[in-house]
Structure 1
Amino acid sequence: MANIQTLDPDASPLAYYGAELRRHREAQGLTQPQLGSAIFCTGSLVGQVETTKKVPTRDFSERVDAALGTDGVFSRLVGLVLRSQLPTWFQAYADMEAKAAYISTYQAQLVYGLLQTEDYARAVLATGMPDDLEGLLAARMERQRILERAKPPLAWAILDEAVLYRPIGGHEVMRAQLQKLLDHATHRWMRIQVLPFEAGEHESLDGSFNLLRFDDDPDIIYTEDRISGHMTANPETIREASLRYAHLQATALSVEESVARISRVMEERYGARP
């Protein structure tokens, strides 16, 4: 007799998802290979998701809903599952980011997470040698869904020019990443500025930060160190961060000049004309 692993649906969102997947599959009399065939994957992958050894993606969940006729159950569950895969110290920020009406970010080292391509994000996340790289990657890609809403948050990103030159993942990955920045730069709700090398010393030499504004809640500033993230709604800190961000905006290239700078770096450094 096959050794069927007992599942505790209360253990975590991932365990609940796996238990529900098994319950709905068995209710329709399907084996794991049969469901896998219906959703264009292996039965082994279905089994790994059911036993929490693999984190489901949104695409997997949508295919399961279509195959089992579950009326979006798994498409709704997967957001909760992927959010739970984020580092514990980051989950509170991700929750606030998803509720924000306005996001301002200054990034000194990397492209902001909401603007990263999948390959760029994979290369960034791999530097931390996580136990489940693909789970973390899926969670980061899930965060980006807030930009796909009918009414997304207004967003303003200032990127240090060094971000454009640091070859995360290699030249092909960087070409695609800079193209994504150019694509977003033309969106009505997004503005991207480049803080050029020629700016010299500036207001935020001590690092990156994010400023979140809400319709009905106090503003929040978020920073990170090597180990964790830090949020505060302290009015004096918010005031200082807002002033610093205004200075960065004034020092950075204009939006139009920034598009030209990204295009130039993309062509000259990564060998691709945007």
Structure 2
Amino acid sequence: MAHVRDLDPGSSALAYYGSELRRLREAAGLTQKQVGDIIYCTGSLVGQIETAKKPPTRTFTERADAALGADGALLRIWPLVSRSALPGWFRPYADLEAKATAIYTFQVQLVHGLLQTEDYARAVLEADRPGNLDELVAGRMERQRILHNENAPFLWMIIGEGVLHQAIGGGPIMRNQLARLLGYRKHPRIHVQVLPFIAGAHAGLPGSFNVLHFEKLPNIAYTEDYGPGNVSFNSLDVSLRSHRYDLLQAAALSLEDSAELIAEVMEDRYGKDQA
């Protein structure tokens, strides 16, 4: 078992975080258990984070930073930790996503990562049986913070109706996920449309894609497959996908009708008596 004093702080963001947590704790003259008692977790969890065995959550970081009088030291490291959990091929896109002024996404099988609940995200990511599931979930949740920034992007998501029926994680998780989507019903910058089954053949049949708009960069198109995603700055690619998106918006239900369908599926398929 790794001992915290054997860790190289420069080996990873997680190890750096753990070493700083230990340094701050010892400077405060506290044991792992005492820190755990203060921030409402176990001393064992504090020890696992210090030894880079478990990734910290943002909530843990905020509480530990305050309890140890770190003056933001741990909070400044946190983005490095959360970003390190993202697959290497995905990080350049995540950086672009954080700079976008508008994000248009069409999703055939899943709710887009920026609007996933933590439990839904965990169930999605767990399907590949990764060894670093907790880190991946933390990274996905941290990505969503761009929606709460002062310069938050405009986000428009169109999902196929099948997304509502694909029971990712089971009834209770799906009910909470659909409830979250309904929570954006009146949001000024986040819009959700559903492409119904009755739409038949449509412009999104080739698969899911995103189009990102920027203030000072060229707009991009992004697609994913089983391998690394593909970012295209080619103006023709962006134009073709933007055209497809216009057609999908026209074929999808209105925002209000989409919300009504989401609510209907949430109650009929994932109601409390169906959980």
Category of TM-score, reference length = shorter chain:
over 0.9
- Farther-moved stretch of structure 1 (195-204 vs 74-83): 74-83
Corresponding residue for residue 254 of structure 1 = 254
**Quick one: distance in 2 between partners of 1:6 and 1:241?**
51
Contact 1:120 1:174 in 2 (8 A): yes
Corresponding residue for residue 106 of structure 2 = 106
**Quick one: distance in 2 between partners of 1:256 and 1:265?**
14
**Quick one: distance in 1 between partners of 2:83 and 2:145?**
12
Q: TM-score, normalised by structure 1?
A: 0.95
Q: Cα offset for 1:64? A: 0.7
Deviations 1:74-114 (A, max 9, x none): 12211220111011111111111111110000000001111
Q: Within 5 A, what are the aligned runs for 1:11-90? A: 11-90=11-90
Q: Within 5 A, what are the aligned runs for 1:195-234? A: 195-234=195-234
Contact 1:9 1:16 in 2 (8 A): yes
Q: Within 5 A, what are the aligned runs for 1:154-165? A: 154-165=154-165
Q: Within 5 A, what are the aligned runs for 1:137-216? A: 137-216=137-216
CA separation of 1:199 and 1:81: change in aligned 2, threshold 3 A: same
Corresponding residue for residue 94 of structure 2 = 94
Give the secondary-structure state (helix, strand or coil) at the position aligned to 1:187: coil
Q: Cα offset for 1:4? A: 5.3
Contact 2:219 2:238 in 1 (8 A): yes
**Quick one: distance in 2 between partners of 1:50 and 1:232?**
40
CA separation of 1:26 and 1:251: change in aligned 2, threshold 3 A: same
Q: Cα offset for 1:138? A: 1.1
CA separation of 1:4 and 1:193: change in aligned 2, threshold 3 A: closer
CA RMSD after TM alignment: 1.4
**Quick one: distance in 2 between partners of 1:45 and 1:245?**
46
How many correspondences in the alignment?
A: 271
- Counterpart residue type for residue 216 of structure 1: K
Corresponding residue for residue 117 of structure 1 = 117
Give the secondary-structure state (helix, strand or coil) at the position aligned to 1:54: coil
**Quick one: distance in 2 between partners of 1:105 and 1:72?**
35
**Quick one: distance in 1 between partners of 2:269 and 2:16?**
47
Runs of 4+ in 1 over 6 A off after TM superposition: none
CA separation of 1:272 and 1:253: change in aligned 2, threshold 3 A: farther
**Quick one: distance in 1 between partners of 2:206 and 2:272?**
33
Q: TM-score, normalised by structure 2?
A: 0.95
Gap runs ≥5 in structure 1? none
Contact 1:266 1:272 in 2 (8 A): no
- Counterpart residue type for residue 223 of structure 1: T
Q: Cα offset for 1:272? A: 5.8
- Counterpart residue type for residue 249 of structure 2: Q
Contact 2:4 2:19 in 1 (8 A): no
Percent identity at matched positions? 56
